[in-house]
Amino acid sequence: MERIIKNGVVYCPLNGINGEKMDISIKDGKIVESVSDDAEVFDASGQIVMPGAVEVHAHIAGAKVNVGRMMRPEDSKKDAEGTVEATHRRAGSGFSVPSTHMTGYRYAQMGYTTAMEAAMPPLLARHTHEELQAIPILDHAAFPLFGNNWFVMDYLGEGDIDSCAAYISWLLRATKGYAIKIVNPCGTEAWGWGGNVHGIHDTAPHFKVTPAEMIKGMAEVNEKLRLPHSIHLHCNDLGHPGNYETTIESFEVPKGIKVNPATGSRDTVVHGTHVQYHSYAGTSWRDFESAADIVADYVNKNDHITIDIGQVTLDETTTMTADGPMEYDLHSLNGLKWANCDVEMETGSGVVPFIYSAKAPVPAVQWAIGMELSLLVKDPAKICLTTDSPNAGPFTRYPRIFAWLMSNQYREDMLENKLHKWAQKRSSIATIDREFSFYEIAQATRGTPAKVLGLSDFKGHLGAGADADVAVYNMNPDTIDPSSDYMAIEQGFQKASMVFKDGELTVKDGEVVNAGLKGKTFWADTQVEQNSYNAVLKEVERQFVKYYSIGFKNYPVEDEYIAKSAPIKGVML
C-alpha cells in the first residue's frame, strides 16, 4: 500500500529538515524515497508535518498505574468517554491516569506514536505487559527497575560487573524489558524498613553498596551489554530542597564511561529523568528556590548526558513512582490517600494524589523550574519534554507546555495573572525571553527521545527506512505567530489533523479512526558469554528459591504476553 502526504511543511530534526515544503512517501508501513502515481494522496498544504512523537518517560501501564486508577474513582469520574461504535473506539475514564484504551487514543490524537513505560517492577512484569497490550496504537517498551534489586546491590557492592551484566541480561529477557531504570538507588530498599538514603554515598541497612556505586556499576553494565538506551536515572533525594547537589554529583558519576550501543546512534551514557524535581536549592520549603540555572549549566557543559523535564502543569494529578519513601513523605505532607507496594527483592512504589495549585508558592516555583530547564539548556538535542506523566501533570497537557515554551507572552501572562509570586522571586524565569521554534519542539519530542532511546534508526524521523509514523498538524508556520497565537498552538498540537501509524491513517481531524491498531513491544535481547551466564543463573536460582515467593520457572514472562515482539539485539564484546 502506497501513500503520499503532499505539500506539508516538514520538521525533521534528525535529518536537519527545518520547515521545508516537501512530500512524505509511504510504502508498506515505512517511509520511502518515492512512490508510484497509484499512491493514495493526503493533502497537507499549509500544515505542519513531523515524525510521530516519542514519549521517553511516562507511567502508563502496570501495577502502580492501575492502583492510581483504582484508588481514584473521583479522578476517573471527571473525565470519562463513551464508546464510539462507528470506529470501534472503546470507552474509558481517567483525567490524570486514563484507562488503557484512552491512553492510546489520547497520545495518538496529539501525534504520539511511541511511548515508554518508565518503571516496571520485574516481579510484576506480566502486569505491565498485559496493560501495554491493552493500550492501542502505540509502540512501546518498559524499563525494569534495578536500583534496589538485591542481586544487583550484592554484585555491585563487590564490584562484580561481569556477573551483574549476566544477571541484568537475563532479567531484561525474562521480563521483556528494554532499559536499565534506576530509581532512588538504595533508598527504596531502605524504605523496606521505613527509611531512605540521603545523597549518593549513603547505604541501605544490610547492604554494603552506595548509590554512587550502583549508578557507576550499572552504567558500565549498560555499555557492556551494548544496550540501545543509556541508564535511565531517577536520582536520590527527589523533591528535597537543596537536592541539586545530589543531582549533579549523580550525573558526574558515569562520566567518562565509553558509549557503546549495538544499534542506534546514542552518544550519551546517562539519561537524567524528571530533572525539575531534582533542581531545587534552599534548605526547606520556606527558603526553597530554583537551582535550574546550575543544573542547566551542567548539562550545557557536558556531553555525556540527556535529561527530560517533568514539567509541572498546574493540575490536580496523581503522583506515582518506585521512590517509595518519597511518596510516603508526600502523603505525610498533603494528608491525602496513599498507596504503596514494596516488591520483594527488587523495588517498591507509592501513589499519592497531588494538587499543583498555581496560586500556591511551591507549585508555582516548580512550574518555573521546569520552564527554566527547557529554556536554559541551549541545545534541544539534550532534552526531552515530559511531565513524568502523571506525576507533574497528565501527558494530555503536552500541547500547553509546547505553547508555554513557544510564547514568552503566554509565560508572562502566567506569571502576572495566574501564578504565585514566588515563581518570579524564586527563579529566573521572568528574565528568560527565549521561545522554542517548531523545529526545537520537534527535537525535544521526536529526535532527541528517539536517539537517546536508541530507536533513531526507525523512530523519530522521516528519512527513508523509518517507520511511517507521521503527525500532521493544522497550523501554517507561514501565517501563525506562536508568540501571540499561543492558544492556537495549544489547540493545534492537542488534536492532530492526521496521524499515520506504520503508514495507516489512525487519527483524522483530531479523532481516532483506527482504534484497533496494536503496537510493537521493544525489548533488549542481549548476549553474554554462555559459561559465566550459566554460572550466574545457577547461583541466582539458588537464592531465588529461598527468598522469592514464586517459583523460578514461573518468573519469566511468556511469549503470550507480547503480541508484536520487537527485540533489539545487543552483542557483548
Partner 1 sequence: MELVNNVVCPFCGTLCDDIICKVENDEIVGTYNACIIGHSKFVHTEGAMRYKKPLLRKNGEFVEISYEEAIDKAAQILVDAKRPLMYGWSCTECSAQEVGMELAEEVRAVVDNTASVCHGPSLLAVHDTGYPVCTLGEVKNRADVVVYWGCNPFHAHPRHLSRHSYARGFFRERGRADRTIIVVDPRKSDTSKLADIHLQLDYNNDYELVDAMRAALKGHEILYEEVAGIPRDDIVGAVEALKKAQFGILFFGMGITHSLGKHRNIDTAIMMVQELNQFAKWTLIPMRGHYNVNGFNQVCTWESGYPFCVDFATGTPRYNPGETGSNDLLQNKEADAMMVIASDPGAHFPQNALHTMAEIPVIAIEPHRTPTTEMANLIIPPAIVGMEAEGTAYRMDGVPLRMKKVVESDLLSDKEILEKILEKAQELKASK
Partner 2 sequence: MSEIILTPKEQPQVPLEAPNIKPDVFAGKTIDEIKEVEINYGNDTVKLSDFFDVEGTPGETAGEIKIIIDGDVSNTKRIGQQMTAGEILVKGNVSMYVGLEMEGGKITVQGDATVWAGQNMRGGELEIMGDAGDYVGSSYRGDWRGMNGGLITIHGDVGYEIAEYMGGGKIVVKGNADHMPGVHMSNGVLIIEGNVTSRTGGEMSGGTIVVKGVIGQFLAGFKYWGVEKNIQVDGEDIPGVFYKFTGDNAIKGANGTVYVAVAGNKHVAPE
- State which of residues 339, 381, 524, 568 lies at the interface with partner 1 (CB under 8 A): 339
Cell output for 556? 519469566
Q: Taking the C-alpha atoms of 145, 146, 150 and 156 in order, what is their torsion angle to the nearest 10 degrees?
A: -170
**Residues touching partner 2, count (CB under 8 A):** 8
- Based on the shown chain and the rule CB under 8 A, indicate whether residue 515 belongs to the binding site for partner 1: no
Going by C-alpha positions, the residue among 274, 197, 173 that lies closest to residue 233 is 274
Please name the helix (run of DSSP H) or strand (run of DSSP E) that holds residue 190, with its range, or none: helix 187-191
Residue 80 interacting entry, from partner 1, partner 2, none, C-beta within 5 to 8 Å by type: partner 1
Provide DSSP, 433-462.
Answer: -----HHHHHIIIIIHHHHHTT-TTTSS--
Do residues 220 and 258 make contact, with C-beta atoms less than 8 angstroms apart? no
553 binds, among partner 2, partner 1, none (CB under 5 to 8 A by kind): partner 1
342 belongs to the binding site for partner 1 (CB under 8 A)? yes
- Determine if 336 is a binding residue for partner 2 (CB under 8 A): yes
Q: Is 81 in the site for partner 1 (CB under 8 A)?
A: yes
Contact at 8 Å (CB) between 219 and 254? yes
C-alpha distances in angstroms, 298 versus 131, 251, 515, 570?
Answer: 37, 9, 43, 31
Report the alpha-carbon distance of residue 22 to residue 334 in Å, rounded: 52
Is 74 a binding residue for partner 2 by CB under 8 A? The answer is yes
**Smallest separation (angstroms) from partner 2 to the CB of 72:** 6
CA–CA distance, 1 with 547 (Å, rounded to integer): 53
Cα separations (Å) of 564 from 141, 228, 522?
11, 19, 9
* Residue placing its CB nearer to partner 1 in the complex, 252 or 342: 342
Rg over alpha carbons for the chain, rounded to the nearest Å, is 22
Give dist(CA 390, CA 85) in Å, integer: 29
Is 126 a residue that touches partner 1 (CB under 8 A)?
A: yes
Q: Indicate the residue among 167 and 328 with the shorter CB distance to partner 1.
A: 328
The residue range among 71-79, 302-310, 338-346, 558-566 that interacts with partner 2, by the rule CB under 8 A, is 71-79
206 contact, one of partner 2, partner 1, none, CB 5-8 Å limit per kind: partner 1
Q: Which among partner 2, partner 1, none contacts residue 94 (Cβ within 5 to 8 A by kind)? A: partner 1
Q: Closest distance between partner 1 and the C-beta of residue 445, in Å? A: 26
Contact indicator for 322, 145 with CB cutoff of 8 Å: yes
Q: Segment contacting partner 2 (CB under 8 A): 44-52, 74-82, 104-112, 407-415?
A: 74-82
337 counts as binding partner 2 under rule CB under 8 A: yes
* Site for partner 2, rule CB under 8 A: 71-75, 77, 336-337
* Site for partner 1, rule CB under 8 A: 61, 63, 65-67, 69-74, 76-77, 80-83, 85, 90-94, 98-101, 123-124, 126-127, 130-131, 134, 191-194, 206, 328, 331, 337-345, 348, 351-352, 546-551, 553-554, 558, 560
